[in-house]
Amino acid sequence: MGREFWDVPNSPNWPHPNGRDGLPSSVIPQLLDPTSQVPAPESFLCSAAMTVTTPLYAMLNRLGQLALQDGAKPSPQTHFELLQMIDQLKLAVETPTETVLRLIYQPPQNAALRCVIDMGIFPLLIEKQHVDGGVSATQLAEYTGAEQDLIVRLMRVMASLGLCSTPASGVYQANDKTVALTQPIGRDGIPCIYDLTVPTLGKLPEYLRAHDYANPQEYARSPMHWAVGQSQFEWLASNKDQQTLFNSYMASRRQGKPMWFDVYPVERLLGHAVPCEDTVFLVDVGGNQGHDLSKFRQRYPHLPGKLVLQDLPKVVKGVSGREARIDVMAYSFLDAQPIPGARVYYFRSIFHDWPDHICQQILRNTMSAMAADYSRILIVDFVLPDTNAPLLQASLDIQMMSIGAGVERSETQWRDLLHSVGLEISGIWNQSPGMESVIEAIPMSRKCD
């Protein structure tokens, strides 16, 4: 796709027949309604004739192409491009003032959502979804014990966000977004991440002013530690209910996502020398309960070589890898790696938690155990593009910076980090810029095998 489709100016001067900025109302429903008969892209341009400028023509054209490209279920790449294009289209249609006001009033939306989750309204809508006409605010007040007027005010926001439907005034129905809010990713993720981050993010401007706008580099002096007196892991450890929510949320984020071996060509690991049963094939460093290793063993049950799960003693206590033929070891990646000569040292969602100097320590601890011309490091994390980073990943970077001086790194940042300890990237694989990537790193002194 040519870059011209992305580089659209956020100009307020799109002419509109009604005298205000925006698109003709006949265009967008045809683009976004999956049940409609979508005309060819050029017909969009005809229907919008003389009402939009050339860059917006190009955006509509590309959006139409993407909508038709993969049929009912777009590929991850097309899905990502559709979301990016729709965001750009919204910016192109909004006036600058509308954009600013939308940003100003995002915090009340998040707070309202947190309250509705607390009140248990979304499960009620799912439970009553068979009821013709939906569930009234009066009924929700009876079920929850909350005042009806408060429910109306909160649910007005939920409906505006598309998180439920409103077939009539003061009446609510579940939709597909409501379902997600009753599953772990919404039910557990929203309260946990809200409670974890909001106190810190509220003080982030004050923190940065007090530190002369220096980039946070010390985990023990992160914005969160400064704001609430604890690091993210200390906070979770002292709030057992929140730890449970956090673990559930993190597990839910992986559901339906490709595993690293769906993206990375595993045959690369077999091209140098085939491991035997007594050698260690893969070490999952900081691998929590061993989910990734279990899935890998299921996919490759006859692959020779040991699989080893490593994490802190309190994490792996009680974990048995016998069924999946996984060895379990208590270990901190801040110490020297005790297993020498493994084919792969695997890190998933580890490095984004830490500033560069801690990552360098982890990498050096691992490199000391690597076998020359044999071992490699695989890192599963986001790789942000150096330009036009997706908003979700850019926002997550600010969150990681705030709660632990962590970083969601761009490709350039990854290369610089690995180069600083004598490693180089021998490949990066992903299915879409919106998904995590698999980074393969080897010592700079050798060529990729």
* One domain for residues 144 and 281: no
* One domain for residues 40 and 115: no
User: Is residue 2 pLDDT above 70, yes or no?
Assistant: no
* One domain for residues 220 and 281: no
**For residue 417, what are the contacts with CB-CB under 8 A and spacing of at least 6?**
351, 356, 359, 360, 363, 409
Q: Which two tokens stand for residue 264?
A: 């990375």
Q: What is the pLDDT of residues 214-256, one digit of tens each?
A: 999 999 999 999 999 999 999 999 999 999 999 999 989 888 8
Say if 449 falls within a structural domain: no
User: Is residue 6 pLDDT above 90, yes or no?
Assistant: no
What integer pLDDT is reported at residue 449 of this predicted model? 53
* One domain for residues 327 and 403: yes
Chain-wide mean pLDDT for the chain? 86
pTM of the model: 0.83
Instruction: Tell me the C-alpha distance between 243 and 251, whole Å.
Output: 12
* One domain for residues 402 and 437: yes
Q: What is the pLDDT of residues 387-400, one digit of tens each?
A: 889 999 999 999 99
* One domain for residues 135 and 227: no
What integer pLDDT is reported at residue 273 of this predicted model? 58
Say if 100 falls within a structural domain: no
Torsion over CA: 186, 188, 194, 200 (sign): negative
Say if 297 falls within a structural domain: yes
Q: Which two tokens stand for residue 126?
A: 């799912």
* One domain for residues 216 and 117: no
On whether the CB atoms of residues 380 and 263 are closer than 8 A, the answer is no
What integer pLDDT is reported at residue 36 of this predicted model? 45
Q: Chain-centre distance of CA 304, in angstroms?
A: 33
SS3 category, 258: coil
User: Is residue 49 pLDDT above 90, yes or no?
Assistant: no
Give the phi and the psi of residue 133 in degrees, each rounded to 5: 90, -10
* One domain for residues 291 and 407: yes
> Hey, what amino acid is at 21?
D
* One domain for residues 158 and 37: no
Q: What is the pLDDT of residues 276-289, one digit of tens each?
A: 667 899 999 999 98
Q: What is the pLDDT of residues 313-345, one digit of tens each?
A: 988 988 886 666 899 999 999 999 999 999 999
Q: What percent of the chain has pLDDT over 70?
A: 84
Domain that residue 60 falls in: 3-95
On whether the CB atoms of residues 192 and 250 are closer than 8 A, the answer is no
User: Is residue 132 pLDDT above 70, yes or no?
Assistant: yes
* One domain for residues 243 and 208: yes
What integer pLDDT is reported at residue 170 of this predicted model? 97
Q: Looking at residues 149-169, what average pLDDT do you find? A: 98
Say if 448 falls within a structural domain: no
What integer pLDDT is reported at residue 356 of this predicted model? 98
* One domain for residues 292 and 430: yes
**For residue 402, what are the contacts with CB-CB under 8 A and spacing of at least 6?**
197, 200, 201, 204, 216, 222, 223, 224
- How many structural domains comprise the chain? 4
Strand partners, 317: none
On whether the CB atoms of residues 144 and 120 are closer than 8 A, the answer is yes
Q: Indicate the residue among 197, 227, 254 that finishes a domain.
A: 254
Q: What is the CATH number of the domain that holds 134?
A: 1.10.10.10
* One domain for residues 227 and 148: no
